[in-house]
A and B are shown apart, each in its own frame.
Chain A
Amino acid sequence: MKGLLRSMGVTLSAFMRKPVTREFPETHRELPERDRAFPLLLWDFEQTEPFCTGCHACERACPVECMTVLMKDNPNHKSAGGDSTRRKIIDKFWIDYGRCMRCNICVEVCNFDAIAMNNTWSGHEMSVYDRADLVQDLPQLLSESRGGELKAWRAP
């Protein structure tokens, strides 16, 4: 009986402790800086265009082939009368979040620091009713960064 009583004692001591539950939709745990949700594209506020030049590095490195990248000549490049130093720029970009396995490789291979993992809660609360809605296009990928709320973390 001693063991049974000891077990009962353990549960009773837990009964006296404070519950550890967080009531999720109301209280969000603070995410660590390095949190990896899904990859996002970053917005260059100085040039008012994406950092991404559409160089296909991430697309080639992606283990699950969830990215589709199309590049174009930058209409804002200096040669075209604009003030940007980017000769090429991203035209269309799709990431299928349904396939992405959040391995961070696209971020590591990017030469322009143009892609980052979303470390906010918006990257985690992404449930949709249709899988097709998980395919994100360029404006959607940029919107978080354009809003200015994203503080992307880079590996030191």
Chain B
Amino acid sequence: MNAELFGSQVNVWVDALVRVLIIVGMMTVVVMGLIWFERKIIGRFQMRLGPTRTGPFGLLQSVADGLKLVAKEDVRPKNADPWVFELAPYFVFVPTFLMFVAVPFAFGFQVRVLELGLFYVLAVSSVSIVGWVMAGWGSDNRYAMLGALRAAAQAISYELPLVMAMIAVAMVAGTLNLQEIVLGQSRLPNIVLQPLPAFIFFTATLAELNRTPFDIPVGESEVVGGPFVEYSGIRWSMFFLAEYAAMFILALLGSAIFLGGWAWPMGEQWGASWQLLLTTVKAGAFIFLIFWVRSTLPRMRVDQLMGFSWKVLLPFGFAQIMVNGFILVNGWPAVTSGVLLGTTSLAGLFAVGWIVQRSVSRPRPRPVMMARSEAAQ
């Protein structure tokens, strides 16, 4: 059995090994870059400088952090369940990297072109929650336990809107193959046709990644790090690595299915390097948005988070699918159905915004002012 790798025929196992090594190596570098990027960006949002000490512009900060984490003592609490505690990082780490297999970078430039790529990514991404719950349970710590249960509830709630958003896109694209979804957007990115699913996808991504405003499983001021509270050193850094790797992958995915990946606006005729650059820029914008949200918004509460998912995002996701179906089943010309899709979806997005605003508004949010005579009584 032979497979094609960089234009030459090699054994499939060698091929697989080489690809895995490339992924792990690349992801480690990317994650380090992302951590540095996040610290710099959030620093600027907070009018700070971010890391400046290690290397030029603090570029080596992640290396220094990594070295420190590797050198740190790997502590296991006395009452922890040894197997569950030790294995948990792998259950988070491995599924995250498996997601990478189907993600498109450029035309023909991905690990595997899977026919059910979208489905595969979704299926694999939900495995890592097992690792979170294992970490929370195995640590024998109450904060960790609370965090793990929060994480499980959150993952279940937000998996569904994520699926709904992706189904809506798949309906428009007519395929689950990620490469073809991207190719189909060479003239118009999906975000124009499907703004509501794009919003749902972004929200659900934040929840999947446990990032603000959905960082309740790891909420620093409540459960002090959640499931990771007992982890240290290399094990903790595996969670960390997986978190950022997942962020990068979901950003790539988001840019592929909503922003047109490498295809929009130049189509497929441009070279692979341009396409790569385009993908990176779009994913970078996506990640920048995540950082921006992180540095701005407060954390939601666990019941509000559930309510938002089940009462707002999920019904709207269903509605979008139904509307898509009603429009697409007629087989109208592309322009007609495109305009209809875009307007209905945008209306849905505004409806979500209105509901969110409505749910918290109070008649008079400003305090009453008491002048001197009234106050003196």
Contact = CB atoms under 8 A, between A and B. Distances in A.
B43 A3 contact: no
Given A3-B357, A4-B297, A19 B45 contact: no
A14 B353 contact: no
Interface in B18-68: 43-49, 52
Interface string A5-28: 001101110110111110100000
Contacts of B52: 23
Nearest to B53: A23
Interface of A, secondary structure class, is: helix
Given A19-B49, A20-B47, A7 B296 contact: yes
B75 interface: no
A7 B47 contact: no
Given A1-B356, A1-B357, A3-B357, A21 B48 contact: yes
A3 B353 CA distance: 10
A131 interface: no
B155 to A, nearest CB: 23
Contacts of A14: 45-47
A8 B294 CA distance: 10
Nearest to A4: B297
A8 B282 CA distance: 20
A14 B292 CA distance: 11
A110 to B, nearest CB: 42
Nearest to A7: B296
A19 B43 contact: yes
A2 interface: yes
Nearest to A8: B296
Given A1-B353, A2-B357, A19-B49, A7 B44 contact: no
Contacts of A15: 44-45
A22 to B, nearest CB: 10
Nearest to B356: A1
A19 B51 CA distance: 13
Contacts of A3: 357
Contacts of A12: 292
A23 B44 CA distance: 15
B44 A21 contact: no
A12 B296 CA distance: 9
B43 A11 contact: no
Contacts of B49: 19, 21, 23
Q: Give the most central of B45, B293, B296, B297: most A CB within 10 Å.
A: B296
A7 B48 contact: no
A19 B295 contact: no
A80 B353 CA distance: 91
A19 B44 contact: yes
B297 A7 contact: yes
Given A7-B296, A11-B292, A12-B292, A19 B48 contact: yes
B290 to A, nearest CB: 12
Nearest to B289: A8
A43 to B, nearest CB: 38
A10 B295 CA distance: 11
Interface string B274-318: 000000000000000000110111000000000000000000000
Q: Give the most central of A2, A10, A11: most B CB within 10 Å.
A: A11
Given A3-B357, A8-B292, 10 more contacts: A1-B352, A1-B353, A1-B356, A1-B357, A10-B296, A11-B292, A17-B47, A19-B43, A19-B47, A21-B47
21 contacts: A1-B352, A2-B353, A2-B357, A3-B357, A4-B297, A7-B297, A8-B292, A8-B296, A10-B296, A11-B45, A11-B292, A11-B296, A12-B292, A14-B45, A14-B46, A14-B47, A15-B44, A19-B49, A20-B47, A20-B48, A21-B48
Interface of A: 1-4, 7-8, 10-12, 14-15, 17-21, 23
The 10 closest A-B pairs by CB, nearest first: A1-B353, A11-B296, A21-B49, A7-B296, A11-B45, A19-B49, A21-B48, A20-B47, A19-B47, A15-B45
